């Protein structure tokens, strides 16, 4: 792996997730392959409501369907996610192919159409990262612990620096973990999705209100791949100097 000899350790990887279907439940990973389009298999499928007025954001998401977290996608051949058939376990325990019309009908009364995008269906950038410190700091401000899945990251990092929101200082720089180099492009602007409990689908508006008032609406960071490779739980995270 090509990296600066002056790279400084700033943390370690403690969580990895991909989301085969946009806004559905996460697939927990112990390691992942990162290519130019983010994690292999990440957000390769998305649903569109049949009655949706055409717009720049046509996707059916947790905003409209908070129960989507209860649908858990997986790959029949997990080692080859970009070519594998994709199945979804519904909240009732039924396992359906992602293309089964019955799945779209269970998500939306008017039905929903699934599409596949080889490059992934991302709101902005293909990689998202947040630190344990950031989640703990927000939880402290709200007086309650917060589930990391409210924030739907690909990568969770336990930073060596205990100062609040350490990833903010990484914007504009390159992080290295495993064989991967990731440019941290911008802070992650948040929406109502973080108010939705991933287990119960109940909403807590105070979470977004606090992020807007205290954090300019941002929490965690977005990034892009500079060098593809593999990442695993426990990998040391290095920050390349400017």
- Give the domain CATH number at 69: 2.40.33.20
pLDDT recorded at residue 96: 97
- Inter-residue contact 3 to 238 (CB < 8 Å): yes
* 1 within domain boundaries: no
* Reported confidence tier of residue 3, pLDDT bands at 50, 70, 90: low
* 27 within domain boundaries: yes
Residue 124: pLDDT over 90 = no
* 65 within domain boundaries: yes
* 3 within domain boundaries: no
* 206 within domain boundaries: yes
pLDDT recorded at residue 101: 93
Average pLDDT over residues 21-34: 96
Q: Which two tokens stand for residue 81?
A: 């996610």
* 77 within domain boundaries: yes
- Inter-residue contact 47 to 21 (CB < 8 Å): yes
Beta bridge partners of 187: 221
Structurally, how many domains does the chain consist of? 1
pLDDT recorded at residue 55: 58
Q: What is the mean pLDDT of the chain?
A: 93
Name the more confident of 183 and 164: 183
* Reported confidence tier of residue 34, pLDDT bands at 50, 70, 90: very high
* 102 within domain boundaries: yes
Residues ≥6 apart with Cβ < 8 Å to 108: 47, 49, 50, 60, 64, 65
Of 65, 85, 81, 150, nearest in space to 120 by CA: 81
Q: Which domain holds residue 30?
A: 8-239
pLDDT recorded at residue 202: 94
Residue 69: pLDDT over 90 = yes
Share of the chain above pLDDT 70, in %: 95
* 213 within domain boundaries: yes
Residue 51: pLDDT over 70 = no
* Reported confidence tier of residue 102, pLDDT bands at 50, 70, 90: very high
């Amino acid at each position: 792996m090509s990296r600066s000899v002056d790279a400084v350790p700033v943390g370690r990887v403690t969580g990895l997730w991909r989301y085969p279907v946009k806004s559905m439940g996460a697939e927990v990973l112990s390691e992942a392959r990162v290519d130019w389009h983010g994690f292999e298999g990440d957000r390769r499928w998305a649903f569109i409501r049949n009655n949706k007025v055409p717009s720049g954001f046509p996707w059916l998401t947790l905003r409209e369907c908070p129960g989507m977290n209860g649908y858990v996608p997986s790959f029949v051949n997990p080692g080859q996610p970009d070519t594998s058939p994709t199945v979804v376990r519904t909240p009732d325990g039924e396992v359906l192919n992602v293309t089964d019309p019955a799945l779209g009908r269970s998500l939306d009364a008017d039905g929903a159409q699934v599409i596949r995008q080889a490059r992934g269906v991302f709101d902005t950038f293909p990689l998202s990262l947040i630190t344990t410190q950031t989640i703990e700091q927000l939880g402290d401000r709200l007086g309650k612990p917060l589930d990391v899945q409210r924030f739907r990251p690909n990568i969770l990092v336990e930073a060596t620096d205990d100062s609040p929101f350490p990833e903010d200082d990484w914007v504009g720089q390159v992080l290295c973990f495993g064989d991967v180099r990731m440019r941290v492009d911008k802070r992650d602007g948040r929406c109502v999705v973080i108010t939705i409990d991933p287990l119960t689908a109940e909403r807590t508006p105070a979470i977004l209100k606090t992020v807007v008032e205290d954090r300019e609406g941002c929490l965690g960071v977005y990034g892009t791949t500079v060098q593809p490779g593999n990442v695993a739980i426990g990998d040391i995270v290095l920050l390349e100097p400017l």
